[in-house]
């Protein structure tokens, strides 16, 4: 199956798909047409927010990146939307998909889908007041796959035409099978064709979903692409001549961006959680990074890892 004319978007994964990572993927494993940034940090730490906003400046992003906000009120949304508009962004994504209890317990992310009247009121206010276009990334529901159907009429009425749906409910987190039938049911009621997200880890996965959802032309890939960095390149007909060397170059760029930071080892270990899957023995390889307690340990594990056989 050919995927010419299809678009591929990098999903937001906090602690992983930051500016350095997005730029490195675009440089060494090209193929993505865009990315959705992890949601801007919550709380009163202005310095942290300023750092996150700096990463969203369009001139710093080699891969076109849409910002994402996690909020449940116009008062929180508007100041950030105005700032993003001033940067030159044309749209901002409202996170209705984050499934983690630390978020949903605060009535944010996918939890909003469980209160459709409140959510519709919020969407009305955001579209009316926002200086830039509103996009949505959402789950099928919070604890029921029909939750999001309650807001479809509002999405259509408001003309929101950039919608991404992760084909699971929040309670599933990232476990178990995706519900393609429920995705299709929602998609048939929308005036726009949504982007599909969920469990695309191989060409075979994508071919299965594309055969079932023949009208979809936009696919968001997260963990599958982090574990197989060349996946999207191959889907578009390309392939790195030297996978191991290309991965090492990407690794070095990502590490250089945080060199000297106290959290370097933990941060890089988070990347190897995914990169290890590209090696013949991922369990043994990742175990070496789990044992690393300082930068010297980490560098030793890294040098050894790049001598190990890869799957690609």
CATH number, domain of 163, equals 3.20.20.70
Interatomic CA distance for residues 109 and 142, integer angstroms: 9
pLDDT at 222: 97
Are both 173 and 24 inside the same structural domain?
yes
Give the other-Cβ count within 10 Å of 172's Cβ.
Answer: 20
Give the other-Cβ count within 10 Å of 77's Cβ.
Answer: 21
Secondary structure letter of residue 125 according to DSSP: H
Are both 182 and 297 inside the same structural domain?
no
Secondary structure letter of residue 12 according to DSSP: P
Nearest to residue 145, comparing CAs of 176, 192, 190, 178? 178
Instruction: Provide the pLDDT confidence category of residue 195 given band limits of 50, 70 and 90.
Output: very high
Model pLDDT for residues 39-62, shown as the tens digit of each residue: 997 777 889 999 999 999 999 999
Residue 190 Cα to chain centre, angstroms: 22
pLDDT at 163: 98
Whether this prediction's pTM lies above 0.75 is answered by yes
Both structure tokens of 17: 């798909």
Degrees to nearest 5, angle at CA 139 with 198 and 277? 30
In a domain, 133, yes or no: yes
Interatomic CA distance for residues 116 and 148, integer angstroms: 8
**Among residues 187, 207, 235, which one ends one of the domains?**
235
First to last CA, the chain: 21
In a domain, 217, yes or no: yes
Are both 248 and 222 inside the same structural domain?
no
Instruction: Please count the structural domains in the chain.
Output: 2
Are both 247 and 230 inside the same structural domain?
no
Interatomic CA distance for residues 297 and 303, integer angstroms: 10
Range of the domain at 228: 7-235
Are both 163 and 61 inside the same structural domain?
yes
pLDDT at 277: 97
Model pLDDT for residues 69-82, shown as the tens digit of each residue: 999 999 999 999 99
Are both 121 and 252 inside the same structural domain?
no
pLDDT at 42: 72
Are both 142 and 272 inside the same structural domain?
no
In a domain, 1, yes or no: no
Model pLDDT for residues 237-291, shown as the tens digit of each residue: 887 679 999 999 999 999 999 999 999 999 999 999 999 999 999 999 999 999 9
In a domain, 57, yes or no: yes
Are both 129 and 185 inside the same structural domain?
yes
Model pLDDT for residues 135-177, shown as the tens digit of each residue: 999 999 999 999 999 999 999 999 999 999 999 999 999 999 9
């Amino acid at each position: 199956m050919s995927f010419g004319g299809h678009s591929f978007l990098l999903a937001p994964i906090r602690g992983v798909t930051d500016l350095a990572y997005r730029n490195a993927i675009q440089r060494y494993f090209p193929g993505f047409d865009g990315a959705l940034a992890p949601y801007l940090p919550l709380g009163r730490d202005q310095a942290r927010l300023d750092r996150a906003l700096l990463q969203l400046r369009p001139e710093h992003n080699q891969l076109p990146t849409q910002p994402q906000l996690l909020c449940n009120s116009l008062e929180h949304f508007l100041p950030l939307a105005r700032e993003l508009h001033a940067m030159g962004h044309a749209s901002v994504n409202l996170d209705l998909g984050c499934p983690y209890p630390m978020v949903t317990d605060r009535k944010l992310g996918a939890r909003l889908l469980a209160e459709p009247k409140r959510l519709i009121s919020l969407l009305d206010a955001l579209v009316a007041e926002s200086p830039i276009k509103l996009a949505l990334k959402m789950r099928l529901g919070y604890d029921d796959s029909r939750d999001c159907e309650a807001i479809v009429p509002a999405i259509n009425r408001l003309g929101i035409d950039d919608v991404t749906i992760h084909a699971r409910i929040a309670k599933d987190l990232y476990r178990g099978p995706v519900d393609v039938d429920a995705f299709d049911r929602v998609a048939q009621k929308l005036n726009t064709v949504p982007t599909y997200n969920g469990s695309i880890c191989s060409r075979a996965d994508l071919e299965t979903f594309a055969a079932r959802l023949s009208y979809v032309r936009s696919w968001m890939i997260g963990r599958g692409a982090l574990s197989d960095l060349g996946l999207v390149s191959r889907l578009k007909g390309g392939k790195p001549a030297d996978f191991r060397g290309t991965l090492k170059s990407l690794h070095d760029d990502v590490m250089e961006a945080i060199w000297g930071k106290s959290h370097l080892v933990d941060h890089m270990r988070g990347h190897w959680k995914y990169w290890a899957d590209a090696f013949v023995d991922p369990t043994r390889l990742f175990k070496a990074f789990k044992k690393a307690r300082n930068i010297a340990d980490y560098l030793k594990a890294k040098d050894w890892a790049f001598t190990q056989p890869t799957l690609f």
